[in-house]
């Protein structure tokens, strides 16, 4: 099991953070980016997995795309910290993808994400300005360039 493998890694002195619920590297097994733990069987399995990871020695567990009540229950039932991403307010801490909260993308915003700014607009404007300056020959200037002793250059010619 995963917990047995985790236990062996921890026994080697390597800290491990568990991750249950939606694991993006396994989305094809889940049929896409779907909420995990919504059926009774899946919820029981998730709780047991969290407990097994705790017993294996993880220092914390990420709960990803899990219903809030289940994430809260798991957090109450284990003693290691839980970090939620799309798991509601009942976890011990929260994490988000920096590109999501900064609004780096315009075509998709995950439901569990709050965009605090629209960096995509700022980035697009900056890239356009850069492109225009390079095309016009106004970038780079001496300020962004490096000089050398002219006598050395003369010797090379």
Q: Compute the average pLDDT of residues 117-140.
A: 96
Specify whether 114 is located in the same domain as 78: no
pTM (predicted TM-score)? 0.80
Residue 33's pLDDT is: 75
Specify whether 55 is located in the same domain as 115: no
Residue 12's pLDDT is: 98
Say which residue, 34 or 122, is predicted with more confidence.
122
Residue 18's pLDDT is: 98
Distance between CA atoms of 76 and 93, rounded to whole angstroms? 13
Domain count, the chain: 2
Distance between CA atoms of 88 and 71, rounded to whole angstroms? 7
Specify whether 65 is located in the same domain as 131: no
145 located within any domain? no
Beta partners for residue 63, in sequence order: 20, 84
147 located within any domain? no
pLDDT bin (cut points 50, 70, 90) of residue 36 is confident
80 located within any domain? yes
Domain that holds residue 32: 1-95
Task: Give which of 6, 5, 35 is closest to 18, Cα–Cα.
Answer: 6
CATH code of residue 42: 3.40.50
Specify whether 101 is located in the same domain as 79: no
Q: Answer yes or no: is pLDDT of 75 > 90.
A: yes
> Which residues are the active-site residues?
64
156, exposed or middle or buried, with CB in 10 Å at 0-12, 13-18, 19+?
Answer: exposed
103 located within any domain? yes
38 located within any domain? yes
Specify whether 30 is located in the same domain as 45: yes
Specify whether 80 is located in the same domain as 106: no
């Amino acid at each position: 099991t995963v917990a047995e493998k985790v236990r062996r890694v921890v026994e080697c002195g390597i800290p491990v953070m568990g991750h249950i619920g939606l694991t993006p590297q396994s989305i094809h097994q889940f049929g896409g980016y779907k909420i995990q733990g919504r059926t009774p069987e899946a919820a029981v399995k998730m709780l047991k997995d969290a407990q097994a990871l705790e017993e294996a020695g993880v220092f914390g567990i990420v709960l990803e795309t899990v219903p809030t009540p289940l994430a809260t229950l798991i957090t109450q039932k284990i003693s290691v910290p839980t970090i939620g991403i799309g798991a509601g307010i009942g976890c011990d801490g929260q994490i988000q993808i920096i590109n999501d909260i900064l609004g780096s993308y315009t075509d998709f915003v995950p439901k569990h994400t709050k965009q605090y700014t629209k960096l995509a607009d700022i980035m697009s404007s900056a890239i356009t300005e850069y492109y225009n300056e390079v095309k016009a020959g106004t970038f780079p200037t001496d300020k962004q360039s490096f000089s050398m002793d002219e006598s050395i250059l003369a010797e090379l010619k």
